[in-house]
Structure 1
Amino acid sequence: MTPFLTDFFSGCSRQVILVDLVNAVNGGKEEVNKLQQILKNVFKIHDYGSNNWLRRLINPNIEKILVATSKADLLPPDQHRKMQLLLSSLLTNEIDTLKQKGCSYNALAISSIRATENRVISENGHDIQAVCGRLEQVADDQENWVTVIPADFPESVKQLEVKNGHGLQNLKFSPPQNWRLGKDALPHIRMDQVIDFLVGDLMG
């Protein structure tokens, strides 16, 4: 490990790796391959494995790993599982190795602040999942809301075309307008699951 990793992370037994999978998919297969290589390199520089009580006190291994992809609010709920499947497919060998070492692994599609709302649009007799949100950089007195029907998110690298973007890279939504500091909880996607996976066993 480098001195930075030794000084700041050597005592940690839980790890969160946050990635922007939507942006990578927008860039096509080449960008997803770059992200995959970055993730593989991350798993080469840390010590993973289960801990007994003594090792946990002195120099713990990382025993719980969460890989999370942000911007889940740009996609309707029925596509979140595809995001998680694609994320895990980038790390098939690494996940197998982690499990053999006794580690717990999870992949989640999350948003720390959900800026969109889910919509169902009827088209030619079929219900289509969509998201609706207010675009950034719009004056407060303007109601510039847009509804987006995203393309199907790929479940694996094989489903990606080299130049096939997902079409969401230029859309940035504003956070909820009616949120009040100290009074309302910010809407999110699966942040409760993040906390439960990482520290739920320590809070019992």
Structure 2
Amino acid sequence: MTGFLDNLSDIGRGLVEHRVRLGITGLSRSGKTVLLTALVQALLHPERLHGLAAVREGRYRAALLRPQPSQTLPRFPFEENVARLTGTAPDAGGHPTWPESTNRQAELRLSIRYRPPGLLGKLGDEILHLDLFDYPGEWLLDLILLDHDFESWSAAMMEEIAASDLPESKALRARIDAVDPDTPTPGAEATAMELAPLFRAHMHARQEAAGRALALHPGRFLLPGELEGSPILTFAPLPPPGGDTAPRRRRGGTGESPRALMRARFDAYRQEVVRPFHRRHFARLDRQLVLIDALEGLARGGEATARLDRELEALQRALRLGRGWLPRALRPSIDRILFACSKADHLPSDQHPALEDLVRRSLSKSLRHARFGGAETEVLSLAGLRATREVAADGRTARRYLAGRPMDGTEEVAHYPGRIGGGEDDAHRAGAERSFAPLAFQPPGGLDAGAAWPHLRLDRALEFLIGEDLR
């Protein structure tokens, strides 16, 4: 009933307001917090948004932050992030720093006054309410769990654990092997409390080794938010009955079996965490921006491209794309999705097309399905806040370098990260190993909270996501 009333209220607002709900997500370290902060700053100070038609044509009047529609969601800390990036935070000492990553959902409303083009513009200005919904990409991947029960999920997780050589995975497997999962026992809760931290350690180690979160890893184990320490996050996978563990003699006992307890908590996680998130928030989105830190994965080498393919496949499986037959106000659905290759300022501009092509190839099958379902899609390399500038070195005019302050230094340096996939100039010595090693940079100096900030293609991203709503 609560969900029905929420949807009814949401439909009512959609009929009387000109509103777009934009979801912004990305896996850990993808730059989501900075991107969202820079996006809001750009709309408040649109002087550099030349790629947004309403700005270019002089129809963009102004934007203001307004009270958000949800009274229960945290507000995105825009002002605090601006203070850190401009070096005006109380503990910043006058030095700009990157803001802390967000690990929970948050919301922010920006109202934009604009003049429609043509004859409609003679009737006066209109207002677009842009509701920005920020949430961790790990929570988006949780939507895949709705297609699984405890048995199928456990089977997939046990296969992953068995194939991993990480110490954390071996410790988890050894403890699971010592559990009798099907005998009722008063110690089932103690077993769950012992296995859950080991399972979380395994997930963190796998994430660190792969450079990203993996599908079927419960997102709240990695970023628990307000659920930290709750029983609903106290479960772990178990081998199937008669599976690859040695047979155990069944004994009579009292209490609940570990399997029954784990299954109940897995089901509760799906029903009380994942499904409400989908119903109350994700299913109401109109547009979606997904940040992808492809550079970090490529820098790890090895099977980086294959890992990127798997990540994007998991994200696509979790996304709800396409239009229904009802108008958007009556049946909201995501009809535009932008896959943004973040931190493009860590790569020379002549390599940006190659980066976009790499991601586009990884998404090719899913993008066709999304377009067939009626959703418009785009892949774009961007930087919400540009921390570098391009320079040429003496005698190397064909090679573009990036100038900026590295995270571990105080002086500006010129850096060449290598070429995606290698190249002749990156292996000029016989037998040299081709490498790709982008550098992390500090925020640019001289940012003003009351002025526009440098960016890369943020205006093109906004034109794709909301340009048609400003016409």
TM range (shorter): 0.7 to 0.9
Which SS does the other structure have where 2:305 is aligned? helix
Residue of structure 1 aligned with 2:463, choices 188, 196, 200: 196
| 1:197 partner amino acid | F
- How far apart are residue 164 of structure 1 and its match? 6.0
> Would you say the 8 A contact 1:115–1:174 is kept in 2?
yes
Quickly say closer, same or farther: Cα 1:176–1:55, change in 2 above 3 A. Answer: same
1:186 aligns with 2:459: no
Of structures 1 and 2, the one scoring higher in RCO (CA 8 A, sep 6+) is: 1
- 1:153 and 2:425 matched: no
| Change in CA separation of 1:85 and 1:18 when aligned onto 2, cut-off 3 Å | same
Offset from partner CA, 1:123-157 (integer Å, 9 cap, x none): 36x5221111112244xxx5x111112322249xx
Contact map agreement 1:98 1:105 (CA 8 A) in 2: yes
Q: Which residue of structure 2 lines up, in the alignment, with residue 158 of structure 1?
A: none
Find runs of 4+ consecutive structure 1 residues off by over 6 angstroms. Answer: none
Inter-partner Cα distance in structure 2 for 1:34 and 1:6: 30
Whichever of the two has the greater Rg, that structure is 2
* Residue aligned with 2:417, SS: coil
Contact kept in structure 1, 2:345 and 2:387, CA below 8 Å: yes
Structure 2: distance between partners of 1:33 and 1:127: 30
Q: Which runs of 5+ in 2 are unaligned?
A: 1-142, 144-274, 423-432
Shift of 1:34: 2.5
- Distance change in 2, residues 1:3/1:186 (3 Å): same
Residue type of the alignment partner of 2:298:
V
CA gap of 1:174–1:46, structure 2 versus 1, over 3 A, is closer
Equivalences, count: 188
Structure 1's unaligned 5+ residue stretches are 156-162
Q: Is the 8 A contact 2:419 2:435 kept in 1?
A: no
More helix by percentage: 2
Give the match for residue 174 of structure 1: 442
Q: CA deviation at 1:37?
A: 1.6
Cα-Cα RMSD: 2.2
Which of 349, 353, 357 is residue 85 of structure 1 equivalent to?
Answer: 357
Which of 277, 280, 283 is residue 10 of structure 1 equivalent to?
A: 283
Q: Deviations over 1:104-128 (max 9, x none)?
A: 111111111111011123436x522
Instruction: Work out whether residues 346 and 440 of structure 2, in 8 Å CA contact, stay in contact via their aligned partners in 1.
Output: no
Q: Tell me the CA shift for residue 165 of structure 1.
A: 4.7
State how far apart, in whole Å, the 2-side matches of 1:102 and 1:13 are: 13
Mapped partners of 2:349, 2:338: distance in 1:
20
Q: What residue identity is the alignment partner of 1:134?
A: R
Say whether the 8 Å CA contact 1:83–1:154 is kept in structure 2: no
Contact 1:14 1:65 in 2 (8 A): yes
